[in-house]
Amino acid sequence: MSTELSAGLRDALEAWCAHLAGVKGAAPNTLRAYRADVAAFLSFQAGHHGGPLGISALKEIGLRDMRAWLAHERARGVGARSRSRALSSVRGFYRWLAERDAFDATAVLATRGPKHRRKLPRPLAVNAAREVLDTLALQSSQPWIGARDVAVSTLMYGCGLRVSEALGLRGADHPLGDTLRIRGKGGKERELPVLPAARAAVASYVALCPFTLEPDAALFRGARGGALGARQVARVLESVRMQLGLPASATPHALRHSFASHLLAAGGDLRAIQELLGHSSLSTTQAYTAVDATRLMEVYDSAHPRA
């Protein structure tokens, strides 16, 4: 962090991070990103104002100062999405600090972020998702590895798990029951229904796995017995994608996207899907409504081509 920041301001930043970790349950990677965003903002403001920056000076930051910072970030080549994320971090810090020290932070909180197009999720078609699961079993000459890859991917597609959540399962989680309790991003817990196909896929893998699956150790193992890594999952899906001629967007996370998109297309409730995915904000889940509308227009255009 810049030496131009007062000890009080450095302490305030660390206290905010401790608040996020202890009260909000923010993950270590999230905390690192927030801390870096706010520290960079504070360092810029110290230079912008030509001297050491303390909490009292921070309370005087106005709209012009915010615009100067955003313009500086843009000139550095920072993309709109990253600038929006940094602004969100700064707002969060200011909101906490304003509540703690009782001052008006309207100028910072009301600053508009740069406009950017949100990337829409790119799910697989239903038949493509089935082909992926069928083809995964054929990627290894060792049946237990094929069964493992099918089990991990079935959990992502059938339960909406992130790859990190699937790989975070322990030996004690087997056999899977009717529901599965998952601790996701930020330590947030959610309970998911487990489809019979997912239970069967995991049971098939466990029956073939040559390693002892201790209760506290990773459920899914690599070829040498260590915990299976996300990169290994990505590699095998990349191989399947190339064999099936699927787009580059057919990644492990696309299986989770497909879970949500296919549920929505089948009439699933958006709020329920939000809970299943573990999204903190409904706006994140609403991206799938745009995907569904886009697909609908593609079907319409193919059925009713313009002259």
Token digits for 24?
A: 């909000």
Which of 162, 199, 221, 257 is an active site residue?
Answer: 162
Report the amino acid identity of residue 220.
F
Please indicate whether residue 162 is annotated as part of the active site.
yes
CB 46 within 8 A of CB 4: yes
Catalytic-residue membership of 279: yes
Q: Do 225 and 217 form a contact (C-beta atoms < 8 A)?
A: no
User: Could you say which of 59, 174, 253, 295 is catalytic?
Assistant: 253
Buried b (16+ CB within 10 A) or exposed e, 97-126: bbeeeeeebebbeebeeeeeeeeebbbbee
Helix (H), strand (E) at residue 134: helix 126-136
User: Which is the catalytic residue, given 83, 199, 256, 262?
Assistant: 256
3-class DSSP state of 235: helix
Residue type at 166?
A
- Cβ atoms within 10 Å of 298's Cβ, excluding its own: 10
Annotated catalytic residue, options 49, 174, 185, 188: 185
Q: At what angle do helices 126-136 and 230-244 cross, to 10 degrees?
A: 110
Q: Is 288 noted as a catalytic residue in this protein?
A: yes
Neighbour count for residue 189 (Cβ, 10 Å): 10
Longest dimension (CA), the chain: 69
* Rounded CA separation 235/252 (Å): 9
Closest CA relative to residue 41, chosen from 84, 86, 75 = 86
Residue 81 is among the residues annotated as catalytic for this protein = no
**45 phi/psi in degrees, rounded to 5:** -65, -35
Separation of alpha carbons 139 and 207, rounded Å: 19
Q: Is 253 a catalytic residue?
A: yes
Q: Looking at the chain, which runs of residues are DSSP E strands?
A: 179-183, 189-193
Residues labelled as active-site residues? 162, 185, 253, 256, 279, 288
